[in-house]
Structure 1
Amino acid sequence: MTPIMTKPEAAALVVAARIRKNLSWAQIAEELDAPKAWCVAALLGQHPLTAEQAERACALLELDDAVRESLQLQPARGVDPELLSDPTIYRFQEALAVYGPAIKELIHEEFGDGIMSAINFKLDVSRRADPDGDRVVVTFDGKFLDYRW
């Protein structure tokens, strides 16, 4: 019996197939009828796909059953430590290191004692034109979860 392909192995095949087939993440998300950011995270191994989504993704990307099975597995969520030095990922860490305490204070002032969910959560990445160079707009949209004592 063949061992199940790991999520990182499947993710590498997905990325390679997407490039080879000249597909955008938006096109793949549309095919899966899923939000773009969620779809990318799922195909990179951070969320499980349904059987139907995995089948559609593998048909679109011409990937085999081993990838389809892997895409349906429950993930071990988080960032590979090697990726933490990637400039894009590092800048998000830097932004949260600088602004995290302020965000926390503003959430508490507006909502009370609690947190923003990262489970009941939406993410959007967009471009905004600016005369000094285009801006990256990242929106975190998480449900407020109050602490209950």
Structure 2
Amino acid sequence: MTRNEITEQIVLARLTKGLTWQELADAVGRPVVWTTSALLGQHPIPADIGKVFVDMLGLDESAIAVLAAPPMRGGLPTAVPTDPTIYRFYEALQVYGGALKELIHENFGDGIMSAINFSVDLQKKSHPSGDRVVVTFDGKFLPYDWVSADS
């Protein structure tokens, strides 16, 4: 069974059983964003945690090994996302990406925010004009370290 096939089974089983992503995350003591991303195929899931998910979702035990394997990360079906929710993140980075890059360099120096040593959180915030979505990216700063070939 492929990772994509298992992901489809996970989504179907979660909906059929009426489980929320938060309930799945709570069952293994992991953050909900990480859990959701992992179950959608973006992170390897340690075998002990995979076993909990397999049991909760009624999946075949053979899925545990596939869930534990390093996945092919990233990659959207199109160069520009067409799903409206994902597109809004793309749009926000088009508008604010340059400013964020400049501010990172101004505050930290020449480097990047790690997406490996990283966490992300999503919160709902009440607001008189309508609920707000608060997304927090928390990545380690990695300075560029230009090393010559002779080093």
Residue 86 in structure 1 maps to residue 53 in structure 2? no
SS state of the match for residue 26, structure 1?
Answer: helix
Deviation at 1:68, TM superposition (A): 2.2
Matched, 1:60 2:23: no
4+ runs of 1 displaced by more than 6 Å?
none
Q: Are 1:100 and 2:97 an aligned pair?
A: yes
Task: Calculate the TM-score normalised by the size of structure 1.
Answer: 0.92
Query: Percentage identity across aligned positions?
Result: 52
For 1:120, the equivalent position in structure 2 comes to 117
- Separation in structure 2 between the aligned mates of residue 76 and residue 116 of structure 1, nearest angstrom: 21
User: Higher relative contact order by CA 8 Å / sep ≥ 6: 1 or 2?
Assistant: 1
Letter in 2 for 1:108: H
- Partners of 2:84 and 2:3 in 1: CA distance: 23
The separation in 1 between residues aligned to 2:87 and 2:98, in whole angstroms, is: 18
User: Quick one: distance in 2 between partners of 1:79 and 1:13?
Assistant: 20
TM-score by length of structure 2 reads 0.91
Unaligned runs of 5+ in 2: 147-151
Q: What value does the CA root-mean-square deviation take over the aligned residues?
A: 1.3
How far apart, CA to CA, are the structure 2 residues paired with 1:69 and 1:31? 19
C-alpha displacement at 1:80, in angstroms?
3.0
1:62-99 deviations in Å (ceiling 9; x for gaps): 11123223211211111331592111111111110111
CA distance in 2, matches of 1:87, 1:79: 16
